[in-house]
Amino acid sequence: MLNTTILSYITFVYFIAFFFYLCMMILGKPSLGKAATITCFGGFFGQAFAIGLRWYESYKMGIGHAPFSNLYESLIFFSWTIILLYLIVEWRTKNKTLGVFVSPLAFLALAYASFSPSIESRIEPLVPALKSNWLIAHVITCFFGYSAFGISFALSLMYLIKKRERQDEKGNFFTRLLPRPAALDELNYQIVAIGFLMLTLGIITGSVWAHSAWGSYWSWDPKETWSLITWLVYALVLHSRMVRGWRGRRIAMLCIIGFSCVLFTYFGVNYLAGLHSYAKS
């Protein structure tokens, strides 16, 4: 299908963007950063077109539904949302160094979706549990939360790298363009707050959806359980920051642990039997 072909090409667009961002940091040339941003925008709009085309093609096949129904489509949407949030952050902060750490996440998600032989890319009818008006609301809120946590993970890595350089030195070729640790810590907190809000909405919409599909708001399905664990980890991040006054390294480490929980919630539970086992398809 045309949409899958476009998406496979977008994979390499994001890799080129990463290459430009990396060269910008190594060589310190702003023109490379501009080229990286333009490339990211091109990939973002091309991917948006492909997602819309896939949605349209599903209606032409007589099984019209939003392209959020299986692992392939969720990976595509995850990579798109993380680029969207990154471009907003880049525009607000006027700093492009975050792109070195975020663009690989989008590239890897698309590469896994496009080239893994275990992932089916065909448009298929919805299974009964997914035939609900809550599908779009639940998936959008959850994946914007996941994407925010992905950016938080990147910011946490940047913070730890920046803090490793000695205070009496200017830093090496890679770290000299990174923002100050305090700025990274504050931005990380803001992104986690956004992600926490979106994940909370995702859990709420998922609970309402579960009640309409299975007759229960909460059934301790593996994905539900790990979503709660992820929510609790990021609740701890916010609590530690606002109440305990934690800053810096401890918050960064908690955010890295939190993103590990996100990845297990997203991928790991697919290997466990449960109501969300359709996500394996």
76-124 per-position pLDDT tens digit: 999 999 999 999 999 999 999 999 999 999 999 999 998 888 788 888 8
Residue 275 lies in a domain: yes
Residue 69 lies in a domain: no
Residue 273 lies in a domain: yes
Mean pLDDT of 266-279: 60
Give the per-residue SS3 of 222-238: HHHHHHHHHHHHHHHHH
Mean pLDDT of 193-207: 94
Residue 274 lies in a domain: yes
Cα separation, 136 vs 139, whole angstroms: 5
Q: How high is the mean pLDDT of the chain?
A: 88
Residue 3 lies in a domain: no
Q: What is the pLDDT of residue 168?
A: 45
pLDDT of residue 11 exceeding 70, the answer is: yes
Q: What is the pLDDT of residue 68?
A: 85
pLDDT tens sequence across 52-86: 999 999 888 888 788 888 889 999 999 999 999 99
Structural domain boundaries, residue 222: 127-281
pLDDT of residue 281 exceeding 50, the answer is: no
Mean pLDDT of 146-151: 96
